[in-house]
Amino acid sequence: MFKAGSTLYVSVHKFQQKYLINHLNIQVLINLQKMLRLQKISLFNFKNYEIKTFAFSEKVICISGPNGSGKTNLLDAIYYLCFTKSYFSRQDHLHVREGQQGFRLDGYFSVQGKEEHAVCILRENGKKEFFLNDIRYDKFSAHIGKFPCIFIAPDDVKLIIGGSEERRKFMDLLIAQSDPGYLKNIIIYTKYLEQRNALLFTMRGYAPRHHELLNTLDEQLIRVSQILYQTRCAYMEPFIETVKELFKKIMGSDEAPEIEYYSDLKTRNMHEILKQNLKKDTESGRTTEGIHRDDLIITVNGKPFKNRASQGQRKSLLFALKLGEFEWLSRKKGISPVLLFDDIFEKLDEHKIHNLLTIACKEYQGQVFITDTNAKRMQDIIQHYDPNFQLISL
Ligand SMILES: Nc1ncnc2c1ncn2[C@@H]1O[C@H](COP(=O)(O)OP(=O)(O)O)[C@@H](O)[C@H]1O
Ligand SMILES: [Mg+2]
């Protein structure tokens, strides 16, 4: 494979970007992608699974079974092995099978033919351990991005209609998967912000005054904020263009909402912000402005998208954001992420399903897992996009 930094990679990469953004034709990209496949997964005492192994032999895997049979849990187990945590809940113990003390997940991946064995263990004492090829990670964050993966569930519209925290999390995960330094800076920023807020809390009700510790924390926040802001700007601008093109493609329309990366740092730097807000911050006992309030502002004709958009438009934007993430990671990492589609047939009309599956199963090279309660419906649909799909019935 071409390495980032080599002349050939850079020139092809630039061409790809232009080509992709203009035409969303993935063919050029496909030829340069490293193939990522999950070949086998074993679950032990994970949610409703006591002990179970699934072998995956195809690019498109259809998983069917009645409600409550463990379809979403299986996708979440895959997500765990890619991100060291659940897509749904931060509390690891909730994933232990009822009545048991811990769980174990084994994932056998292949990356361009090279076998990689990932293991996640939650011990009886509640301690989580994660191994790659028998080597234990000191920091789970070091695993993020090794096996890029995207979870898509139509009920996930909180990304569109929820608070700004949802979209910040999305931006952070998007960037962190291809920029390990970014995640480190987010962790540093969060730590200093918490310390600053705790200090401000103790200063509430007093007149703002010189404070040695506050100054030190401010210096750190100013330093990291600038890096984070610049990184987000650099990443979000091209990403937003990709998302808008995908939205048009899924909707089958010429129009897309306006999406803007918003930050308090757009008009003032963090030094000015902290200085100007000192009185307000000490009164309220928290840092009122900064990078921790960034958002993606989505509008149609200047009005909030979430109020104006139909259900179908919301879902299409959700898919566009997630598929945008897919394209992004493919480009940045040279690996097609694994796509996890949960229950998409229930929630989307036929036309949008068609557009979505054309992109995901035909144009993209990544492995796709799709769940549905109705095996026949799923088979009838998927065979038009990839006749070699594998069906797993739970
Ligand atoms: N910690 C747990 N221990 C045992 N069973 C669990 C646990 N958490 C969830 N479940 C069970 O998993 C099932 C839901 O699985 P899920 O993957 O959401 O089903 P599906 O997506 O097929 O509808 C439910 O029957 C639920 O009781
Ligand atoms: Mg489910």
Residue-wise pLDDT for 146-162, tens only, equals 999 999 987 788 899 99
CB 220 within 8 A of CB 192: yes
- Nearest ligand atom owner, CA of 76: 1
**pTM > 0.75: yes or no:** yes
User: Residue 317: inside a domain, yes or no?
Assistant: yes
User: Is the domain of 120 the same as that of 167?
Assistant: no
Rounded mean pLDDT, 109-116:
92
How would residue 33 be classed by pLDDT, with cut points 50, 70 and 90?
low
26 pLDDT more than 50: no
Residues touching ligand 1 (Cβ under 6 Å) are 47-48, 65, 67-73, 96-98
User: Residue 4: inside a domain, yes or no?
Assistant: no
- Nearest ligand atom owner, CA of 154: 2
CA-nearest residue for atom 8, ligand 1, is 47
Per-residue pLDDT, 197:
95
User: Is the domain of 179 the same as that of 142?
Assistant: no
User: Is the domain of 343 the same as that of 377?
Assistant: yes
User: Is the domain of 325 the same as that of 216?
Assistant: yes
CATH number, domain at 210? 1.20.1050.90
- Our mutation pick for probing the ligand 1 site, out of 73, 80, 92, 370, counting the most ligand atoms within 8 A of Cβ, is 73
User: Is the domain of 196 the same as that of 250?
Assistant: yes
Per-residue pLDDT, 226:
95
Q: Which residues contact 89 (CB under 8 A, 6 or more apart)?
A: 95
User: Is the domain of 108 the same as that of 196?
Assistant: no
Cα-to-centroid distance, 288 and ligand 2 (Å): 39
Per-residue pLDDT, 136:
98
User: Is the domain of 99 the same as that of 139?
Assistant: yes
Cα-to-centroid distance, 33 and ligand 2 (Å): 30
Helix (H) or strand (E) holding 6: none
User: Residue 76: inside a domain, yes or no?
Assistant: yes
CA 152, 154, 156, 161 dihedral sign is: positive
Query: Comparing 4-18, 112-126, 299-313, which segment has the lowest mean pLDDT?
Result: 4-18
Cα-to-centroid distance, 49 and ligand 1 (Å): 8
Residues around ion ligand 2, judged by CB within 5 A, are 71-72
User: Is the domain of 110 the same as that of 210?
Assistant: no
Higher pLDDT, 23 or 46: 46
Q: Which residues contact 86 (CB under 8 A, 6 or more apart)?
A: 76, 79, 80, 92, 94, 95
User: Residue 391: inside a domain, yes or no?
Assistant: yes
Helix residue spans in 84-147 (DSSP H):
none
How do residues 234-285 score in pLDDT, each as one tens digit?
A: 999 999 999 999 999 999 889 999 999 999 999 999 999 999 999 999 989 9
User: Residue 81: inside a domain, yes or no?
Assistant: yes
**What is the DSSP secondary structure assignment for residue 68, as one 8-state letter?**
T
CA atoms within 13 A on the CB side of 318: 26
User: Is the domain of 295 the same as that of 367?
Assistant: no
C-alpha to C-alpha distance for 219 and 48, rounded to whole angstroms: 49
Helix residue spans in the chain (DSSP H):
7-23, 27-30, 71-83, 158-161, 164-176, 180-203, 212-251, 270-276, 278-284, 305-308, 311-333, 344-347, 350-357, 375-382
